[in-house]
Each structure stands twice: as structure tokens, then as C-alpha cells.
Structure 1
């Protein structure tokens, strides 16, 4: 396995461990300048992940790091894109649907992706260059990489067309545009079933064949999507900008994503 992917897996598991230590306490919630919530888990997980990734000497874009000026970032050929706790709202609700997201990006495109679900100890990881994506259900956060490889199962998206069409909807962000999109599917003669998940698990649902399509017509940041896009791309699922009609790109001047659609390659 690619050395950077191994490192990202180890970082995600260690971050998951510290996240769950906070999850099991009466933690405080702060509000950042943009009014999004922040907990001790976000900070501790970010410290853990940085401690692993800085050893690679590859620069890091993380939600919880101070962002580097674009005049510097634009010179980066390769970078990590990290969300230490994706789905902080789900963490606060204690519904278990939050993740650790770590991706390695080269020239704007995700190469490697890791999504770890600390509450259930489920790990998704992928190498886009090898067209390989896997899911592993762990017994402990401290599981070794070799053991993970022994139990990991290949991700298999749905084949062919299905009816009803399973559309991934957010627990926290169901926009009017998303509801309009589902109505348009019905207009084409499809039945529609909504599958709800929080955080980057929405990408995983499509990648593992538990949903057909994920429309995201609401704001996201690069760290929300990079790992999920890597996992989807590795198994033939595209993440297409509604603005450019091309795959989402990373380390842009503006780290805000355009709206996008996650679906099978035609």
C-alpha cells in the first residue's frame, strides 16, 4: 500500500480515538467567526493529524489550521486536505454520523482518501491511481494496517439503473434546490427514495452501493469533500461541479466548493 495512504489511515484512527474520548464527556461547544460549531474534539483531532502529516513535509489545508495565503498555496503541487471532524453538528447531536476526512491532492485532483467513522469504527480508504476503494469494520481504533488490509472489502457501487432511485439527502442541509432535483427525477418516471446521512458518509453511501446519486446544492468547503471524492473516483463514481461540469478541484483560491453532483460514470 502507498506509504502516504498508510500514514493517513494511522492518523485517522488515532484522531478517532481522541474524538471518542471527548464524545464520552460533557464537552463545550464554541462558535467560530462563521458561526459554525467547534468542540475540543475538533482541536485535539487536528493536533493528532498534523503530528502525523507534517512528517511528510507536504503542506496541509485543514479546516482547523490557519489558512495559508493563496499567493503561497498556488505554488503547491501536492497538499493534504483535512477535516478533523466532519459533521460537528452530528457530533454535538451525538448521532454517530461524523467522520475524520484526510485526502492527498495533486494538481487539484484527489489521489488518496481516508474517511473514518469513530463512533462505529468503520474505515473507508482508496487509492485513485489503482482504482481501488475499500471498507473495513474494525474492533478497535488501534488496529494495525496489516490487520485492516486482511479484513477490508472492496467497495462496489450499484450497477445499472435502479428504480426507485436512491438519492442521498443531508440530515442538516436539505435545500429547496435538492428537493427540486428529486422532483425532476420523478418527472422522468422514476420513483425516488431518500437516504439520509450526515457528514462525508454521503459519499460513502454511493461508493458502496447503498445509494445512486448525491446532489449537493448547498455550500461545502474543500475539506468536506476531498476524501469522499477520492473514494468515489477510485470506484468509478464522479463528483461533478454544477458550475464547470467537470470534477471538483482543490487548493483553489476560494476554498468554497461550487454545487456538485455525485453519481456513476455514464
Structure 2
């Protein structure tokens, strides 16, 4: 990846995600308990420890932080933010609890409601995805240690390229944990239009990564997500020309909204 300039904030986000990945795996590799939050999602010690690590890296940037595990800040204060971090310390805690390895650290930088940088780290397999929208690149690095330097991450970086699909087969990303009736209806419409459809399953924000690295054509999400579930994935996709389009507005998903719940959306290079 020589010759590519890396934004200082992206460096910080990468370092934070790797360090968070290390503490997450410390918990994952030992017996652990979990509790159920008010929204019925699980919470583990890994979420708390990773959140503390990420905050320790991001706070010195002086940019405010929205994190799933931070106390949520009232919109009256947030609405004046031009730029903010959006973080999910462990995305896919259900996958974490199931011990299937498909959980991630999500860190995104948002400016004027749009993601401009994104990092997704899969600590169970030491695989890092990162994208810079303004410089127009997204990469994947398969690492050997959570302690990898930025230089090592760059040395191992492989450019992400979406599919250039000329076949009749549409590979659709479906969730392991959520397959709504609306998603099933979407797939039926594709089939009725004469397309052959194959389902590709992944947990957490890795669903965005499947489209970004050309392993799927489209990710329809007709079930609830929060901003911290999607911001990093959207940045990685947007960096290489893949759109993340709201079903409500037919425009890209926006961030730091009064309500941090996302509308339904579709991720694809070509609107399907």
C-alpha cells in the first residue's frame, strides 16, 4: 500500500480497534458471563473493556464520541457537533456469546452527518478493514497479532474491490440472527425478476465487508439497526463507490440524528 497517505484520525481508529480486539479476545478465550440490557441485547465484560480502551484513544483527538456503551448525550448538545466518532466496541455480541467468531469492533468518523472514515476489526481472525471516503480507498489487512504496527497494517493491506457482476446470479447477504419477512420478500422479488439468488450469511458489520470485498452483490437490511452498527461499514463501502441507501428517503444513511435508530437500508454498488 505504498504511496497512500493515511489520515491521522484513521491511524488512531486503527490503533484503538487493534487494542480493543486484544482485550475482547482476553475475555472471549476465558469463561465469561453476560447480562441482558433493556433493549434485550447481551452485554459482556468485553463490551465494557473494549469501550474503555477505545475512549482512551479517541478522547485525546478532541472529537466527541457516540458509543453504544457510553451514556447517551442529549440531542440538544449533539446537534451542534460538526464532526463526531461513532463506535460499537463489540458489534455482534450475540455472535460473541455464541462463540462463532463473527463479531467486530466498529469505529467511524462522521462529518456533517456522513461517514468519512471507518474501521472494522474482526479480532477472532485478526482481520482489519478500513476505508477513507475523502481519499477514495478501502483495504483489508489479515494480521498475525493484535499488536501490529500501523506500518505492518499498511504492508499487509489488500485493496477492496466490489463485484462487477455480469451474471444472472445475485448473492444476497442475509443475517445469521435476523432474517425478516421483508428481507424474504425482497429476495422473492429478485427471483420473480428472473434472477438466481444465493444467500451469504455473516454476523455483525461483516455483512458490509462482504459487499465491499466482492463476496456479495447486495445487503438488504429490513430490521432494526443503530448508527453504531452501520457507520464504519458505510464508510468502508462509500470509499469504493458502494451506496448505503435508506429505504425511507432513497438517500444515503445519515448520522448523529436526534433518533440514533436507522431506517431500513440497502447496500449495493448498483441499486438492485
Shorter chain as normaliser: what TM range? Answer: over 0.9
Structure 1 residue aligned with 2:215? 210
Q: Does 1:114 align with 2:119?
A: yes
Q: Is the 8 A contact 1:97 1:201 kept in 2?
A: yes
Superposed CA offset, 1:154-200 (max 9, x none): 00100133321000000000000000000000011000000000000
SS in structure 2 of the partner of residue 47 of structure 1: helix
5 Å-filtered alignment, 1:27-176, equals: 27-176=32-181
**Structure 1 segments of 4+ aligned residues over 6 angstroms from their partners:** none
Task: Identify which of 230, 237, 244 aligns with 2:235.
Answer: 230
SS in structure 2 of the partner of residue 205 of structure 1: helix
Superposed CA offset, 1:38-92 (max 9, x none): 0000000000000000000100000000000000000000000000000000000
CA distance in 2, matches of 1:162, 1:9: 36
Task: Identify which of 10, 13, 19 aligns with 1:8.
Answer: 13
SS in structure 2 of the partner of residue 177 of structure 1: helix
Give the aligned length: 266
TM-score when normalising by structure 1: 0.99
Cα offset for 1:265? Answer: 4.0
Q: Is the 8 A contact 1:237 1:262 kept in 2?
A: yes
Q: Is the 8 A contact 1:236 1:265 kept in 2?
A: no
Q: Is the 8 A contact 2:91 2:229 kept in 1?
A: yes
SS in structure 2 of the partner of residue 129 of structure 1: coil
Cα offset for 1:263? Answer: 0.4
Q: Is the 8 A contact 2:165 2:217 kept in 1?
A: no
Unaligned runs of 5+ in 1: none
Q: Is the 8 A contact 1:115 1:200 kept in 2?
A: yes
Q: Is the 8 A contact 2:247 2:266 kept in 1?
A: yes
CA RMSD after TM alignment: 0.7
Unaligned runs of 5+ in 2: 1-5
Cα offset for 1:257? Answer: 0.1
CA distance in 2, matches of 1:233, 1:166: 19
Q: Is the 8 A contact 1:213 1:261 kept in 2?
A: yes
CA distance in 2, matches of 1:37, 1:213: 28
